[in-house]
A = this chain, B = another copy of it.
Amino acid sequence: MKIEDELKGRFRNERHKALINLFFTEKQLTYSMMQLLKKHGLTEPQYNILRVLRGFRSQGTSSIGFLKERMLDRSSDVSRLVDKLYDKGLVDRKENETDRRQKDVEITEKGLQLLTNMDDCELKADTLLQNLSDDEVNELNRLLDKIRN
């Protein structure tokens, strides 16, 4: 459906429309993702952290700051997110030996298993853009990169 109909609003110009369109589309996609994640008891930022931890597991533990850098939302409150994951037994946390300000965060076996069970999320995520052809996906990436410079 076209955005004009969906929002029943008017736009100043195509540029304005594109901005709102971006916001609106993102909200819809985020909502779809969230519904999936909720089934597994995770929020989007929590899932994000687990995936980063798994991704960098071979390179050793990750500090809070390291995780923060890799979050979509840089203002993310990683300390408290890790708290939650720790409470659920999905990550481990200890003091770094050489820099005692840092915490070494690591995904647990339980966390890894959860991610494995969440394969459906990844599959679903890839279908969210199924209406686009491969070329269109590339074009979208190009345009989004360009927006941010």
Contacts and interface: CB of A to CB of B under 8 A. Distances in A.
B13 A126 contact: yes
Nearest to A30: B23
B70 A14 contact: no
A145 B129 CA distance: 11
A20 B132 contact: no
A134 to B, nearest CB: 7
A114 interface: no
A19 B125 contact: yes
Contacts of A148: 1, 6, 24-25, 28, 131
A14 B30 CA distance: 18
Contacts of A139: 139, 143
